Chains A and B, each alone.
Chain A
Amino acid sequence: MANSDNAPKKPKKPIAPRVEMPTQPPRERTGNFDEVALGYTREQALAEAERCLQCKKPACVKGCPVEVPIKDFIERLQHDDVPGAYEVIKSTNSLPAVCGRVCPQEVQCEGACILGKKGEPVAIGRLERYTADTFMANSACEHMNGEGRSCAPIREDLKVACIGSGPSSLTCAGYLSSRGIKVSVFEALHELGGVLVYGIPEFRLPKSIVAQEVDALREQQVDLLTNWVGGKTIEISELFEAGYKAVFVGVGAGLPRFLNIPGENLIGVFSANEYLTRVNLGRAYKFPEADTPTYPGKHVAVFGAGNVAMDAARTAVRLGAERVSIVYRRTKGEMPARVEELDHAIEEGVELQILSSPLEFVGNEQGFLKSVILQRMELGEPDDSGRRRPVPIEDDRFELECDLAIIAVGTSPNPILLEASPELKLNKWGYVKVDETTGETSMANVFAGGDIVTGAATVISAMGAGRRAGMEIARRLMDE
């Protein structure tokens, strides 16, 4: 029974089907690194926006970790008012072009959308992406502050440092600079954006989109320092000595985990981080025009089934592998990846080797990988996570031929900054302990957020943390 508050304004109107988003056809896209999902046209966006019921009590907003006023921005779109829609989104989300592409909408806003109870939910993510992409033609200051407003004057005496340049730091920097605070971002790599540039591939999130969001910060007079390693080139205590009033730590959770099985250091066994960093940050897909090489694989086995595994598998397809298999202990239904990415991977020919768990990598005399021995599994009783636990089937083992293995089973906290700052208290998993409402760490005026606090999570949750810390820092520095 529909709740009367949420009853559609025009009852009985049949629910129109969701407007599909055009994509590059699978046969074409496996031969390039261009973006797969092409985005809505104006007509498609208007038609999709029209499906929104404008509920009195919109459920969608609660599903969004940064509480984008979804109903309001869609209403603007219904009137073809893209700048208005953009301003509404930007009031809580500083990277909409990124979020519209990579958020797991099906479990967030779209998962909660009331329309989804009867039919398909409104394609909120695609509308967000349409709004951001369409608006991008405007100047960067307008990006940050909404149309018509100018940048706040930057006060050089109020300085804040952000360590790392992933979505958490960029959001924190964006928020603070929009309040007139001088921000310096210290990034260890030579490119800004964190996982958005070295992890998520071009075909899902073009670097130019991230660069646009970064440029918006540059225009806000944020100092962006690359090749600066927190804990090595500069320590937290030294930042305070240099006059910074607060520090935000957003260094991600980069240290790759391995399977800890025999043969793991054979040539041809890679962490997903290495494989993706070579291809994305090093542009190895252009080798030899770009210098960083990647490892060719004919038969590729990817271990894990999250977004990282999908990205690695689809990258291997594009680099010309003959067969790419995702090896996973459970079944397709339990795979943690975004549904859209899993579907795209399957369309592109990625095979699923489910109910299989790796036991040992086998190599040749020269130390090159030849195959992997897998253990067959079945699903048993649900475990703590509520998912059915994979149990080995006694004596049922088999060998999968592979010359490239990519391990995507998660990461641990990167030790560099943490070892250099023993005052930072960690939780029992080794991540930085923070006050949940402010993001402050055990060190006064040092805040942290994103994957270094939560462990590998999502872009939007990292952004939420950056924003929370930014608000608290601004409150303290400016008595807001």
Chain B
Amino acid sequence: MIEISAPPARILAKERLIPGQTSKLVIDAPHIARKARPGNFVILRIAPEGERIPLTIADTDPEAGTVTIVYLVLGKTTAALEQLGEGDTILDLCGPLGKETHIEKVGTVICVGGGTGIAAMHHIAKGHHMAGNRVVAIVGARSENLLLFCDELESFCPELEICTDDGSCGHKGFVTDILQKRLEEDSEIGEVVAVGPVPMMAAVARVAKPFNVKTTVSLNSIMVDGIGMCGACRVTVGGETKFACVDGPEFDGLQVDFNELNKRLTAFKPQEAISYEEWKKSHGQ
């Protein structure tokens, strides 16, 4: 019988993947772990007057009842999250949200991940692997020490390509260089998936377009409720307005208006700066 219980969302394990910048949390949330699929995200809040922020579910363990998130410290909420440790609880954890990744058996899938997006990409790649697809992973970061999830990806991807901007590891250059080459060499690619910064996803879509291959991107538009009630997360896809939280967050990358998304992400820049500065001051940073 299904049990209706929601223990406090306690952090069971914390790993500082990139100290001071990116961490991974394993959180006790059996009711969410039970339902979470690749592509889903959670919305969390860590303080009574705190903001609701969306974070991708990077992994789940339904047996253990845990969900894993990986975040990049960008502003006040993520900085405050970084102050929490094992044993602390997350005030509100809501999910799983968003549509799950549409996974079909298509043969070879190229999964491209950039920066913190590698974590989310990893969960999608795992889904493709479980469905019997051959997953080629291409990951990129500015420098070797900013790479994530390479061991996990290596464990199930027959091929893992690494790119760094400074050449400290793997190919010196962009993920799109490798993607371009693969698409040229291999005409059997069933799908390209890209998760990462908006300019990276836009570039992947640009590269993939001439090859006419299905290209899925995961959009990180600004969200408030995450359940389709505010319209904050709207994006233009194929000329139509879609709500990233309920229609997405994954969309056909060839149809997305990345330029508009990029602009909309700047809507609250001045307020975000105020928030973060005040927080830093009050935390002696």
With contacts A227-B94, A415-B246 known, is A293 near B271, CB below 8 A? yes
Report yes or no: B49 in contact with A289, Cβ–Cβ below 8 A.
yes
Query: Contacts A274-B232, A414-B227; is A292 near B95 (CB within 8 Å)?
Result: no
CB < 8 Å neighbour of A367 from B1, B6, B264? B264
In the assembled complex, the CB of A326 is this many whole angstroms from the nearest CB of chain B, namely 20
Most chain A beta carbons < 10 A, residue from B229, B260, B266: B229
A277 touches B230 (CB 8 A): yes
- Interface membership of chain A positions 251-279, coded 1 if the CB is closer than 8 angstroms to chain B and 0 otherwise: 00011101010001101101101100110
Residue pairs across A and B with CB atoms within 8 Å: the count is 137
Q: In angstroms, how far is the closest chain B Cβ from the Cβ of A315? A: 14
B230 interface neighbour in A225, A232, A233, A273, Cβ under 8 Å: A273
Given the complex, which residues of B lie within 8 Å of A241, measured CB to CB?
A: 1-2
Would B51 and A233 count as touching, CB distance under 8 A? no
Q: Which of B31, B47, B232, B268 contacts A233 (CB 8 A)?
A: B31
- Chain B interfacial residues counted at CB < 8 A: 48
Say which residue of B6, B224, B278 sits within 8 Å of A227 (CB atoms): B6
What is the minimal beta-carbon distance from B227 to any residue of chain A, in angstroms? 5
User: Across the interface, do A255 and B224 meet the contact criterion of CB distance under 8 Å?
Assistant: no
A33 within 8 A of B: no
Q: Is A438 an interface residue (CB 8 A)?
A: no
Taking each of B77, B95, B271, which has the highest tally of chain A beta carbons within 10 Å of its own beta carbon?
A: B271
Contact-size category for A? 35 or more
Task: In the complex, identify which listed stretch (A46-54, A86-94, A142-150, A182-190) lies at the interface while the others stay far away.
Answer: A182-190
- Check B266 against A189 for contact (C-beta < 8 Å): no
Asked if B224 and A282 make an inter-chain contact with CB atoms under 8 angstroms apart, the answer reads yes
With a CB–CB cut-off of 8 A, which chain A residues contact B32? 233
Instruction: Digitize B226-264: 1 where CB-to-A-CB distance is under 8 Å, 0 elsewhere.
Output: 011111101110000101001000000000000010011
In the complex, which residue of chain A has the Cβ closest to the Cβ of B236?
Answer: A265
Which of these, B6, B227, B232, contacts A416 with CB under 8 Å? B227
* Given contacts A234-B31, A278-B224, A291 and B275 within 8 Å (CB-CB): yes
- B97 partner residues in chain A, CB cutoff 8 A: 229, 232
Closest Cβ neighbor of B271 among chain A residues = A293
CB-based contact B229/A291 at 8 Å:
no
A290 within 8 A of B: yes
A228 touches B6 (CB 8 A): yes
Would A287 and B271 count as touching, CB distance under 8 A?
Answer: yes
Q: Do A267 and B4 have beta carbons less than 8 Å apart?
A: no
A269-313 CB contact bits vs B (8 Å, 1 = yes)?
011011001100111001111111111000000000000000000
- Answer whether A366 and B6 are a contact pair too, CB < 8 Å, given A188-B227, A273-B230, A291-B51: no
User: Shortest distance in angstroms between A298's beta carbon and chain B's nearest beta carbon?
Assistant: 14
With an 8 A cutoff between CB atoms, is A243 at the interface? yes
Chain B residue with the shortest CB-CB distance to A278: B224
B274 on the A face (CB < 8 A): yes
Known: A190-B94, A273-B230. A293 touches B268 (CB 8 A): yes
- Whether B2 pairs with A238 at a CB distance below 8 angstroms is yes
4 more CB-based (< 8 A) A-B contacts, given A227-B92, A241-B2 = A228-B94, A229-B95, A271-B230, A367-B266
Please give the residue numbers on chain A whose beta carbons come within 8 Å of chain B beta carbons, in ascending order. Answer: 184, 188-190, 198, 225-229, 232-234, 238, 241-243, 254-256, 258, 260, 264-265, 267-268, 270-271, 273-274, 277-278, 281-283, 286-295, 366-367, 414-416
Write 11 A-B pairs (CB below 8 A) sorted by A numbering: A198-B229, A233-B96, A242-B2, A243-B1, A255-B229, A255-B243, A256-B231, A274-B231, A291-B47, A292-B224, A416-B228
